Amino acid sequence: MPIQVLAHLDAGTLWPQVTTFHVIDVADAYRRALAVRAARIARGERPVGYKIGFTNRTIWERYGVFAPIWGPVWDTTVVHCDGVGTIDLSHTCQPRIEPEACFGMSSTPPAGATLEQLFDCIDWVAPSFEVVQSHKRDWVFTAAEGVLDGALHARLLVGRRTPVREIATDRAAFDERLAATRVTLRRGSDTPVVDTGTGANVLDGPLHALHHFVRELATCPGAPSLLPGDVVTTGTWTDAWPVAAGETWRSSYDDALPSLEVTFR
């Protein structure tokens, strides 16, 4: 089964209409996704953190997924930049863009970490663009299929990093400021606004999304812990929008985070 999943991932092709993967439920999907992870590591890829998906409650009804999911991100899929970057869309499947907040971890959170303890484990925060994808036709899938499909991860562009204590010196102030920040998403620099959102859309704030993920990760049998240096992107502040090679997209934040621009090729 991992070989089949990887074959579609590498080729950027849709899963068959009648899938042969037979995912029973979300727990089974995570077990199988860990097998896919092991296969990617065996062929030389290196996991560098995680993505959290479906933290934005405003889009749950649209996609029929009513709880967050998560999966790994890779040295082959993550690009860092200082505010302007490029992403290669080749071999992605039905790609869409999501403006997010990404954390860089300085240490592994303790078991049962509080929000305050979790804040102390974060080094920096940055704007990010995750390119998500679905190997199910027309983006129609179950939550379990989404998990097996790499939690829909395709690419991640991480923008300029800001040390968290430059934003706020304590957890409560950081949480409040990031949750209240608004993002404006445009295709090109002077085009009409495509979408807007706030940090509060993601489980009431990106720090809360990270907190939820850390607890879920601890309950998943066989899942590796967060490590110092890992990145975690915490979910889209807007809907996900289709993208294509040749396009340039920009996210502008009214507070806390710098802007980010990406050109697709």
The pLDDT value recorded for residue 23 is: 85
Give me the residues of the chain with pLDDT under 50, please.
Answer: none
Amino acid letter, 142: T
What are 121-134's pLDDT values in tens digits?
A: 999 999 999 999 99
Question: In this prediction, what percent of the chain has a pLDDT beyond 90?
Answer: 94
Q: How many domains does the structure of the chain reveal?
A: 1
- Cβ distance 180 to 199 under 8 Å? yes
Domain that holds residue 61: 2-264
CATH number of 179's domain? 3.90.850.10
* HEC string for the chain: CHHHHHHHHHHCCCCCCCCCCCCCCHHHHHHHHHHHHHHHHHCCCCEEEEEEECCEHHHHHHHCCCCCEEEEEECCCEEECCCEEEECCCCCCCCEEEEEEEEEECCCCCCCCCHHHHHHCEEEEEEEEEEECCCCHHHCCCHHHHHHCHHHEEEEEECCCEEHHHHCCCHHHHHHHHHHCEEEEEECCCCCEEEEEEHHHECCCHHHHHHHHHHHHHHCCCCCCCCCCCEEECCCCCCCEECCCCCEEEEEECCCCCCEEEEEC
What are 42-57's pLDDT values in tens digits?
A: 999 999 999 999 999 9
The pLDDT value recorded for residue 163 is: 98
The pLDDT value recorded for residue 19 is: 61
The pLDDT value recorded for residue 20 is: 62
